[in-house]
């Protein structure tokens, strides 16, 4: 079982339009509402492909009730941590040319006791049945200190469970010293965490190696249209797959990639191939819809153990 922890879940509202024009009244060509938050998306992708998971989420207000209803409809097992303020709502504007504009709320302010309840709940599913991974994912709401994921990693290690962290900023940097088994940055987060430019595959590999030196066991870095790299003690691999069709939405593609990686065992080139296949499938789907087995093409993924260091990122 894979446990996901989302401290700052959301309702993700996606509106499709032809083109965004500021200051004008625009008519939508489509709209949908999905349960959101990076960990929530990972669990949704796992459920869509028949893998066991449990999503640990904060809930509050009317949006929190709607979030729970949507997760129930998706068949995602949930362990909720009620909080005093309401869950946030995020808005995504998707244009027909693939351009995506996101407006994200900060989220509710959590009290210290609510933060502790969330950490306790994160470990709870591992006590009554074995869990292979705990995935701490996404931004942290107000009131949650940047050491949240570091504490989560330490408690999971005490429980004998592997950890992966997918976040950014101070929370990402703080978690490294705790020694997570895996981290999953994108190219921008790699650059931010290592304070280096990421212009080539070699730059990305070098930055990922710096994260391993800082404490991460392995680094799965998603590189958008350029696929992903895996940098681990066993080696370095790059994987990429062609798009099967036009880009519908990039929202949640990185979360689908992480779900694929964990579902395939969480280490090695086979897991990297699954990550790229799942992530590539996700971008062809609207909003933050997670891909299912019919969307995923593992055979389209090309893997190399000797990445071209000079290859420029698109």
Alpha-carbon span 121 to 30, nearest angstrom: 37
Q: Is 255 a catalytic residue?
A: yes
How is 93-145 classified by DSSP, letter by letter? EEETTS-EEEE----PPPPHHHHHHHHHHHHTHHHHS--SEEEEES---TT--
Residues with Cβ within 8 Å of 181's Cβ and at least 6 positions away in sequence, in order, are 133, 162, 163, 164, 217, 218, 266
What DSSP designation does 225 have?
G
Q: How many CB atoms lie within 10 A of CB 224?
A: 16
Query: By C-alpha distance, which of 40, 268, 276, 251 is closest to 136?
Result: 40
Alpha-carbon span 283 to 277, nearest angstrom: 11
- Options 188, 255, 295, 308, the catalytic residue: 255
> CA 301 → CA 48, 107, 270, distances in Å?
20, 37, 10
Q: Please, is 105 exposed, middle or buried when counting C-beta atoms within 10 Å of its C-beta (0-12, 13-18, 19+)?
A: middle
Residue matched to tokens 């190399």: 304
Write out the two tokens for 61: 């207000």
Residue matched to tokens 């950490």: 119
Q: Which residues participate in catalysis according to the annotation? A: 255
């Amino acid at each position: 079982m894979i446990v996901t922890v989302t401290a700052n879940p959301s309702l993700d509202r996606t509106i499709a339009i032809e083109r965004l024009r500021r200051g004008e009244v625009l008519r939508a060509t489509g709209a949908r509402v999905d349960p959101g938050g990076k960990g929530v998306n990972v669990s949704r992708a796992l459920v869509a492909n028949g893998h066991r998971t449990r999503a640990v989420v904060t809930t509050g207000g009317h949006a929190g009730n709607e979030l729970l209803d949507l997760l129930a409809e998706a068949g995602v097992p949930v362990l909720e941590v009620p909080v005093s303020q309401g869950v946030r709502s995020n808005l995504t504007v998707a244009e027909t040319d693939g351009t995506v504009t996101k407006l994200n709320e900060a989220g509710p302010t959590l009290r210290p006791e609510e933060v502790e309840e969330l950490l306790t709940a994160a470990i709870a599913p591992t006590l009554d049945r074995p869990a292979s991974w705990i995935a701490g994912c996404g931004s942290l709401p107000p009131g949650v200190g940047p050491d949240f994921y570091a504490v989560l990693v330490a408690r999971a290690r005490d429980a004998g469970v592997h950890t992966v962290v997918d976040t950014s900023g101070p929370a990402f940097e703080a978690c490294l010293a705790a020694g997570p088994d895996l981290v999953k940055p994108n190219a921008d987060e790699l650059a931010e965490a290592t304070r280096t430019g990421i212009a080539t595959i070699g730059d990305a590999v070098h930055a990922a190696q710096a994260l391993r030196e800082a404490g991460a066991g392995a680094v799965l870095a998603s590189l958008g249209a350029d696929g992903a790299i895996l940098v681990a003690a066993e080696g370095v691999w790059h994987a990429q797959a062609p798009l099967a069709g036009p880009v519908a939405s990039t929202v949640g593609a990185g979360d689908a990639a992480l779900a694929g990686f964990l579902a395939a065992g969480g280490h090695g080139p086979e897991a990297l191939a699954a990550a790229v296949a799942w992530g590539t499938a996700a971008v062809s789907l609207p909003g933050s819809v997670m891909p299912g087995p019919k969307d995923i093409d593992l055979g389209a993924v090309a893997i190399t153990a000797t990445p071209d260091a000079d290859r420029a990122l698109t």
